[in-house]
A = this chain, B = another copy of it.
């Protein structure tokens, strides 16, 4: 249960490669894919998501590629994971805005527990930057 998919795994590997490069250096997706050992076309999709979320900048044409959009110390693991996997939601009932009980419009009896789980996971992932991860190697 609660398992990260390959996409999330690849996303982390890809962004960590960028973080390991000199700040501001533009990297090709082919280069990142090779270094991170991820299928190139799949990684391209992942980096599209990153670009949309403002985690990386993308440049087209000759000399194009990707750079981090911010200092790696300002990018959290949570952002990276959520960019490709969507928000961290242990149960649908957290989306339905409190009307999750089957007999009415109140929160179900597990609602608060899922909120606690969510908060716990978010706190851990928000507490780690890709700079910290990159330093560990």
Contact = CB atoms under 8 A, between A and B. Distances in A.
User: In the assembly, how many copies of this chain are there?
Assistant: 2
Interface stretch (A25-33, A47-55, A64-72, A106-114): A106-114
The A interface is mostly helix, strand or loop, or mixed, namely helix
Contacts of A114: 4
A102 interface: yes
B3 A90 contact: yes
A34 interface: no
B110 A120 contact: no
A137 B125 contact: no
A91 B16 CA distance: 17
A88 interface: yes
Given A89-B1, A116-B124, A124-B117, A109 B16 contact: yes
Contacts of A8: 1
A1 B77 contact: no
Contacts of A92: 3-4
Q: Give the 6 A-B CB pairs with smallest separation, nearest first.
A: A109-B137, A120-B120, A1-B85, A109-B136, A2-B2, A116-B124
